[in-house]
Structure formats: structure tokens, C-alpha cells
Amino acid sequence: MNPLAPVLQQEAKALLNTADQLQPDQAEAALNLLQQCSEQGAKLVVTGVGKSGIVARKIAATFTSIGLMALYLNPLDALHGDLGVVGPDDVVLLLSNSGESSELLALLPHLHRRGSACIALTGRPQSSLAKGSQVVLDGSVDREVCPLNLAPTASTAVAMAIGDALAAVWMQRQGVTHADFAVNHPAGALGRQLTLSVADLMVPIDQCPPLLPDAALADVVEHLTGTLAGAAWVQQPDQPNRLLGLITDGDLRRALRTHAPQAWSAIQAADLMTTDPITAAPDQLAVAALELMERNRRKAISVMPVQAVSGELVGLLRLHDLVQAGLSRASSPTTETDVPQAA
């Protein structure tokens, strides 16, 4: 048996118990304070000492990343000048398993004088910290998973989970979108998923000269081998930059297999092209375009035309470039409803 399993199961049980023991009115009151904080342009100040302080830092970082201004305040430093960062409209979340941490209790009267709302996240709902706060979130556990029942383990996991739950529900109620989330996550793999657009990766149309519908097979082959796009696009004869069809290497191979060699000289671009290719928009997330390519049931898509709102073709998007950019559908933030309909 996995030697860690009993401990993990005990900690998981503590989390499940927390879902039942949290008072609905107190949870709602905490969320309402966070909502007011956001509406007033105020901030969430999270504080705690020891292991609770470490959890407090994580909770503050989470809220900052989802769009609610938050910071961690060391309670000792607060008593020696840093209390100046706390405004009257701010909400202060105080973490203490015992609810009797002297550093936090020393802060309470000063927070009250400033008019800051206080939320206690504690393992003892009848503690001094709880009694001095407007809202109390019950983070109590039957015991720590530490064999001595001393090291903060289950209690810190519960406190962290309550912080995550507050953040997740606040996001849902605020209607935070992928675009909102991307504002605070511009770098790394996550940033690429959330910020790279089709326009950033497509081959511009000025690097992809068009074919006319009556172009000969030789011209098609020359375009396919001589351009960077890996495909050739067919232009409507009387409308420049208007897409009539798309020809890929696969289209060419299929045509050559279905036509006898003696008939190749009669093949024209119009005979090879796909007239209703799936298209992308230049401002669409690149990862959403990748999902369209990989999810298509008609045939594999390696190149996708990019059309502006006006209907003009502005570029060609290659699957190769999406993969090279480090995008993958597996980590895509998009959902079925986020992906635009195929044109």
C-alpha cells in the first residue's frame, strides 16, 4: 500500500468536513466584503504569523493574480509602521489556527479604529480573534495529520483551501474571463496560451501571392513549393484579397491520385481547391485556432486562412507555427463555447 495514502486520506477528510462546517451566512458575508472591496477600489490585506503567514502570502498572491488587489502584511511590521498600507475601505483577512496569536490580537484595535472590515480564518470560532472580527470562517480540524498532532498540516491545508474557495467563487461572481486573467499573466506557457493571437503567428498575406482559378497545375506546384505558407490560396478574379479557395499539399496529392497522368495538364487551381475552408480571425486566440484545426472531422488541417471582419484575407496560419510557439490543445483554456464557429 502507498505509505502516504492514509495521511492524504485523513487530510482529504478534513477538507470535506470543512465544506460542511463552514457557516453559509459567514461564507456569504466574507464574499460580500470582497465584492465591496472590489467595487470601492480597495484591497484585500492578508496577515498571519508562522505557517499561517505562509498560507496568507499564498492567498494574497492568488487574489492579486485574478484581479483583486491584495497584499500580505507581516503583523509585526504592521505594528511598527506598515499599518499605514491599510485603508478604511480595505478588508483584512486574519489567519490563526488558535485564534489567540498575540501579534494579530494586537492589530485588531488599530484595524477597528481605521474602519477596516476584519475576517477571521481560525480553527477556534470562539477565540479572541473570532470575537473581534465581523466575519468568522471556521477552519477547525479534528487533528493534524502530524503523528504528534503538533505540526500545522491539516489545519494549513484547510486554510489554504478556504482561501482558494473564496478566490474561485469571487472570480465566478465577478465574471472573470480568460482575457481578464491574461492581463496579469503575460509571460511563460500560460501567458502564451492566453495572449498570443492568430495575427501574431500567421504568415502575412503579402508573403503569400494568390492564384487565379484558371491557374495551371505547374503554377500551383510552384506556389506550394515557393511560398512560406505551405499552401496556396485562390483569389476571386474580380475581388482582390477575397478568398475563393485554398489548396494544400494534401489537396494536390489527392488530385494526382484520382487523375490519370495524361489528364494532369488540364488540371486547374479551381479543380484542386477547397471552396469552404475553416477560417480564423486575426484577433482570435491562437490556441483557439489550434483547437479548431485539431478538432476538425472533415480532414486534417495544416494551414488555415485568416480573414478580417471585412472578409478580406489577411494571412495564412500554419499548424507548424502554433506548435513551434509552444501551444497545445491539452493546456488550452478555451471551452466549446469559447471557440468561434467555422466560417
pLDDT of residue 342: 32
Average pLDDT, integer, range 216-228: 86
Q: Which pLDDT score, from 0 to 100, does residue 149 have?
A: 95
Per-residue pLDDT, averaged over 221-229, amounts to: 82
Q: What is the mean pLDDT of the chain?
A: 90
Looking at residue 34, its pLDDT comes to 97
Rounded to an integer, the average pLDDT of 122-130 is 97
- Supply the DSSP string of 80-102, one letter for each residue: TTGGGG--TT-EEEEEESSS--H
Indicate whether this model's pTM tops 0.75.
no
**Neighbour-count burial of 19, counting CB atoms closer than 10 A to its CB (0-12 exposed, 13-18 middle, 19+ buried):** exposed
Q: How many helices (H) and strands (E) does the chain have?
A: 15, 10
Over range 14-20, report the average pLDDT.
96
- pLDDT tier at 343, thresholds 50, 70, 90: very low
Alpha helix (H) residue ranges in 115-187: 128-131, 154-174, 178-183
**Residue closest to 59 by CA, chosen among 71, 51, 76:** 71
The pLDDT value recorded for residue 210 is: 93
Could you report the per-residue pLDDT of 252-300, keeping only the tens digit for each? Answer: 888 888 888 888 889 999 999 999 899 999 999 898 899 888 887 666 7
AA letter at 107: L
- For the record, the C-alpha cell of 293 comes out as 484545426
Domain ranges across the chain: 5-176, 198-338
Cα distances (Å, whole numbers) of residue 279 to 243, 299, 305, 319, 341: 10, 14, 5, 13, 9
CATH code, 5-176: 3.40.50.10490
Query: Would the CATH topology of 5-176 be identical to that of 198-338?
Result: no
**pLDDT at 339 exceeding the cut of 50:** no
- pLDDT value, residue 198: 95
For residue 265, the tally of other CB atoms under 10 A from its CB is 9
Report the C-alpha gap between 288 and 294 in whole angstroms: 10
For the stretch 140-199, pLDDT in tens is 999 999 999 999 999 999 999 999 999 999 999 999 987 788 777 776 667 777 778 999
Q: What is the pLDDT of residue 340?
A: 34
Q: How many CB atoms lie within 10 A of CB 127?
A: 20
Judging by DSSP bridges, how do beta strands 313-318 and 231-235 pair with one another?
Answer: unpaired
Q: Cα–Cα distance between 270 and 220 in angstroms, integer?
A: 10
CA atoms within 13 A on the CB side of 35: 12
Q: Domain 198-338 is classified in which CATH homologous superfamily?
A: CBS-domain (3.10.580.10)
Rounded Cα distance, 43 and 59, in Å: 13
- What is residue 305's three-state secondary structure? strand
- Any residues with CB less than 8 A from the CB of 336 and at least 6 apart, and which? none
pLDDT in tens, 53-110: 999 999 999 999 999 999 999 999 999 999 999 999 999 999 999 999 999 999 999 9
Is the pLDDT at 312 greater than 70, yes or no?
A: yes
Output the pLDDT for position 337.
36
Q: Does 336 have pLDDT greater than 50?
A: no
pLDDT at 335: 42
Share above pLDDT 70 across residues of the chain, in percent, rounded to a whole number: 93
Q: How far apart are CA 175 and CA 172, in angstroms?
A: 5
What pLDDT sits at residue 17? 96
